[in-house]
Amino acid sequence: MKTHVSLEAVEEKIGHRFADRDLLVRALTHTSAVQVAGDSYQRLEFLGDRVLALTVAGMVYATFPDAEEGELARRLNALVKRETCADVARDLGLGAAIRLGSGEAQSGGRTKAAILADVMEAVIAAIHLDAGFDVSRAFVEKHWSERMKAARGPLRDAKTTLQEWLQGRGLSAPVYRQVSRTGPDHDPRFEIAVDITGPVEGLIGTGRSKREAEQNAAARVLVREGLWKDESDDRA
């Protein structure tokens, strides 16, 4: 259960000194490190997920006054999804502070997106319980605002958009197949090809999960066909 950083260092990173430091300890504790599940971050994760969603919903509502409900929902989902939460946790260096059982630690638990995302939500809940909603909201706004403003790319799901576009042209739905899988179990890398019947050629996408690779493959086709903008070319 040994960690690589002190609680003081974690507090410094997240910008909050806990009146009840036990909340922070629990937020950083994985189920593999305790005998009783209630001593882990699970309950805090449940609460933190709701605090995060409420705060981000308010942020996108205020920032995009002309957006319709569907667009607001897509922006919300992009900002509260596992990958985004895990990215914030990495930026804050929370991986080194997570309390893991020896087996989970040896299997690379500190770098797993699922665990990092759960811990991030639990930390939000810990701040909320320790200092109230205004403080937890300020924390979320600080670490999610730039990500919200940087979301210039398409908001629709790439796989759904590609399928609807193909169907609109009278073509069959695309088929996704795994081309390769590399990397260790705790940090895999997938290559997924999207096969399309007809005049539209498929492409290969990569990602840390099959789902991410499938989405990237679909997005590459949409960019090539001029339906989506390539964000890598956006220098604005």
Residue of 104, 121, 191, 214 marked active site: 121
Cβ within 8 Å of residue 121, ≥6 positions away: 44, 45, 48, 49, 52, 85
Burial of 11 (0-12, 13-18, 19+ CB in 10 A): middle
Answer for the pair 171, 86: CB distance below 8 angstroms, yes or no.
Answer: no
**Alpha carbon 93 to chain centroid, angstroms:** 15
SS3 183: coil
User: Is 83 an annotated catalytic residue?
Assistant: no
Answer for the pair 27, 40: CB distance below 8 angstroms, yes or no.
Answer: no
**Among residues 22, 2, 78, 80, which one has the least CA distance to residue 48?**
80
Query: What whole-number distance in Å separates Cα of residue 120 and Cα of residue 49?
Result: 9
User: Is 121 an annotated catalytic residue?
Assistant: yes
For the annotated catalytic residues, the residue numbers are 49, 121
